[in-house]
Structures are given as C-alpha cells and as structure tokens.
Amino acid sequence: MSRFDQQLAALVSRVRGLCTVFATDKDGVLLSSGRHVPSYSANALAAAPGFSQESLAALYEGLFSAAFAMAADQSSKLGIGANKSITAFYKGFVVVHVNFHPLVLSFVLSAENEDVESAVLPVGLVHDIVPMVKEILKPVLLRVQQELASVAS
C-alpha cells in the first residue's frame, strides 16, 4: 500500500458511508485507492439489488471512471464549461466522480439499509473533502502530466 493509498484510506474513514475513493487516468487505469468499508456496509455494495459482482468489478476496474471521463469531455463541448463532477444514485449505493484532469477521482458510498436518501448528506461531505484528496494526489497528478507531456513531444 503506497503512502497515497494510506492517506486516502485515513481520509475515507472520516466520512460515514464512504467505502472507497480511487484515482484513475482517463482510460480507467487505477493509480491510487483508499478503502474503508464500515461495519454496517461490509457487503452492502455487492448485495445491493441490481449491483452484481460484475458491476463491482467494473467499478474497480475503472470502467465507470473511463465513462465519466468521456462524458465530461463531451459535455464540455456544449459551451457551458467543463464538467466538474457527476453524482449517480443507485439502489443501495452512490458513486461520485470528480474531474481532476487528467485524473478522475471516484468516491463510492454505501447507503445504510439500501436507503439512498441516507447517502445525500455524505455526498455533500464527499464534495467537502475533494480539495484534501486533490492535495494528497497532487504528486500523482504531476507525474501523470509529465508522462503525457513526454509522450506528446
């Protein structure tokens, strides 16, 4: 576990219902993650109706992040500015994607007792900790930017 992962896990443990935060590149390649599964939701994501093990694997393999990166890129072409975040509510869990170009930050919250409305307050708290997550991952961001610049030249 990298120091970034450790710092993210410590931060994740502060927000009730937040199970994980991870950073991927625009293609969904996992760069860093912090996991903390609260006792009340140890298997809530996998047990959520309509959320299969395949869905969980897709989430952690970065497919959701890659789809967000593509949607954020396309929505910026509408002339209303860059997309900063997307929050998706599902039965039993919530996923918040935040644009940290060229990275995507993804936060997964488990709704207590599959009550998605119970996750509304933690979603606000997720947005409150985004600056802290960005600060933790700034070295990762700079490294990815360097790599992209070297490929472009």
pLDDT, tens only, 54-68: 655 566 556 677 777
33/68 Cα distance (integer angstroms): 17
pLDDT of residue 112: 61
- The torsion defined by the Cα of 66, 93, 117 and 125, in degrees rounded to 10, comes to -60
Task: Please state, rounded to an integer, the average pLDDT across all residues of the chain.
Answer: 77
Half-sphere exposure of 22 (CA within 13 A, CB side): 25
pLDDT of residue 121: 62
82/72 Cα distance (integer angstroms): 7
**Third-level CATH fold of 3-152:** Beta-Lactamase (3.30.450)
Kindly list the domain boundaries of the chain, sorted by start residue: 3-152
Range in 1-10, 22-31, 77-86, 115-124 with the lowest mean pLDDT = 115-124
pLDDT of residue 19: 81
23/85 Cα distance (integer angstroms): 14
The model carries a pTM of 0.79
At 82-116, the pLDDT tens digits run: 888 888 887 777 889 998 988 889 888 876 655 55
